[in-house]
Amino acid sequence: MESFTVESKTKNQNIHDELKRLDDSRLRERHTRLSAAYKEFASQNLALDLSRGKPGAEQLDLSSEMMDCLSRNDYKSRDGIDCRNYGGVDGIPEAKELFAGILEARPNEIMIGGNSSLAMMHDLVARGMLRGLPGSELPWQKLPAVKFICPSPGYDRHYSICDYFGIEMITVDYHEDGPDMSHVENLVASDSSIKGIWCVPKYSNPTGITYSDEVVERLAAMPAKASDFRIFWDNAYAVHHLSETPDRLMNILEACRRSGNPDRAFVFSSTSKITFAGGGVAMMASSETNINWLKKQTIIQTIGPDKLNQLRHVRFFKDMAGIEAHMKRHAAIVKPKFDLVLDILDSHLGGKGIASWSRPRGGYFISLNTQPGFARRVVGMAAAAGVTLTEAGATFPHGKDPADRNIRIAATYPPLSELKPAMIVLALCIELTAIEHELSARGYKHPVEA
Ligand code: PLP
């Protein structure tokens, strides 16, 4: 199967063909026209930002009432714990019950954290390095090498965690149904220093894909040379649907149990993009063995998480149906932004064979591929016109996209009024870069003045 590129593949098979067919004078005329449009934007002192995968203010407002949920002077959890006090290191029972719907795990397989699932991932890797995970023969730091598989393009902060701990990253391609599993299986079966794989299995950051059942089953069942090999299953966008027919993701914990590897997966999520990105609740799930081990570790680190926030969330949502209804309100705000981005890409670049892009059915990002070798230049040109994009390369380990073509578009934060000019500038930069490349291939030394 082909590596993940685009949905509009048929249109984009003959990269660059449309430009190649134009004769020199028509190509130069188009360049002059688009350069003028670009310069016009550049003269406007724009300060537009498509780089941040953050909820917009309107989305945050959807949860404002949650702040009043504890105003009745009743701070007790169902089992009588005063949530204002210390304790409850793994979370209050009703929070575990509520979030069991997101994690698809039993309450005794769940650990509630602070406000950041990324912090839980970081700490788990840190524990692996310092002490080892259940099943480790040695703490990872005592080994000559520790490696993680990084399906890419992926989430840059997973790579930063590896970088920080000196963990070697092995890049594996994404297909449209998940990582290249033959590659993953070969690596994991043959190298005992491979201790983990990062997965964003639903509405993936940035490609938007959801792993197929086959991929989930293969990940759960594949033989691993390392007895302490783990899947870091970052299901950050579990309930972040943008369509009426949500993607379905097979339950990794059950798949691991069925395959005789019950302790293999750690599942992470949070309400950062459900309620407040700075004041949500983080959570994780794994086998009871792993969670019991983790509780013992965590008790050394903290006397308990913020249970008041857990209680607030429970009272605000009540149940999974409450979360699902709330996510529909998010979708009503986010979908028009995604639609605008896609409309501009389609109308400005569609059929030209100079870029391809994903059409995600959920999540937070649209992934765009320029022609190989152009992404860095495009991001730089956009920045010069006042449009900030995620740095080119950020979606690959060490910030190095081997093909220099992937750009992550984060559409949720800016209002529609800012999204539109920002996307037009991006489309202009992509087309200008392609034209300039073609003109210089035809011997024009300074295409801008051609
Ligand atoms: N995981 C993924 C895939 C993300 O895209 C993000 C944020 O963008 C996070 C985790 C961060 O989650 P949290 O806010 O719970 O730390």
Q: pLDDT tens string for the chain (450 positions)?
A: 333 333 333 334 445 678 888 999 999 999 999 999 999 999 999 999 999 899 999 999 999 999 999 876 789 999 999 999 999 999 999 999 999 999 999 999 999 999 999 999 999 999 999 999 999 999 999 999 999 999 999 999 999 999 999 999 999 999 999 999 999 999 999 999 999 999 999 999 999 999 999 999 999 999 999 999 999 999 999 999 999 999 999 999 999 999 999 999 999 999 999 999 999 999 999 999 999 999 999 999 999 999 999 999 999 999 999 999 999 999 999 999 999 999 999 999 998 999 999 999 999 999 999 999 999 999 999 999 999 999 999 999 999 999 999 999 999 999 999 999 999 999 999 999 999 999 999 998 765 543
How is residue 324 written in tokens?
Answer: 């699902």
**155-188: string of b/e by CB count within 10 Å (b at 16+)?**
bbebbebbeebebebbbbebbbbbbbbeebbebb
- Of the candidates 235, 237, 231, 215, the one whose C-alpha atom is nearest the C-alpha of residue 287 is 231
Instruction: Give the model's pLDDT for residue 6.
Output: 32
Ligand 1 atom closest to Cα of residue 117: 15
CA of residue 159 relative to chain centroid, distance:
12
Report the alpha-carbon distance of residue 154 to residue 151 in Å, rounded.
6
Q: Ligand 1: distance of its center to the CA of 190 in Å? A: 31
Pairing of strands 178-179, 168-175: antiparallel
**3-state secondary structure string across 275-337:** CCCCCCCEEEECCHHHHHHHHHHHHHHCCCCCHHHHHHHHHHHCCHHHHHHHHHHHHHHHHHH
Which amino acid is residue 136, in one-letter code? Answer: S
Report the alpha-carbon distance of residue 327 to residue 337 in Å, rounded.
15
- Of the candidates 188, 220, 210, the one whose C-alpha atom is nearest the C-alpha of residue 287 is 220
Which amino acid is residue 86, in one-letter code? Answer: Y
Pairing of strands 194-199, 178-179: unpaired
Instruction: Give the model's pLDDT for residue 446.
Output: 65
Which amino acid is residue 187, in one-letter code? Answer: L
196 burial (CB, 10 Å; 0-12 / 13-18 / 19+) is: buried
Report the alpha-carbon distance of residue 346 to residue 424 in Å, rounded.
11
Q: Ligand 1: distance of its center to the CA of 313 in Å? A: 18
Report the alpha-carbon distance of residue 252 to residue 261 in Å, rounded.
11
Which amino acid is residue 30, in one-letter code? Answer: R
Ligand 1 atom closest to Cα of residue 272: 14
Among protein residues, the one whose CA lies closest to atom 8 of ligand 1: 53
Ligand 1 atom closest to Cα of residue 270: 15
CA distances from 151 to 127, 198, 269 (A): 23, 7, 19
Pocket test for ligand 1, best of 122, 157, 273 (most atoms within 8 A of CB): 157
Residue 104 Ramachandran class (φ > 0 left, ψ -120 to 50 alpha, else beta)? left
Report the alpha-carbon distance of residue 378 to residue 170 in Å, rounded.
27
Pocket test for ligand 1, best of 121, 152, 156, 234 (most atoms within 8 A of CB): 234
Report the alpha-carbon distance of residue 223 to residue 229 in Å, rounded.
10
Report residues whose beta carbon is within 6 angstroms of any ligand 1 atom.
53, 116-118, 155, 200, 205, 234, 236, 270, 272, 277, 282
Cross-strand pairs, 163: none
State the DSSP code for 3: P
Q: Decide: 247 and 362 in contact? Cβ < 8 Å.
A: yes
Report the alpha-carbon distance of residue 269 to residue 236 in Å, rounded.
5
Q: Ligand 1: distance of its center to the CA of 141 in Å? A: 26
Q: Ligand 1: distance of its center to the CA of 121 in Å? A: 10
Helix axes 117-130, 288-301, angle to 10 degrees: 90
Cβ atoms within 10 Å of 64's Cβ, excluding its own: 10
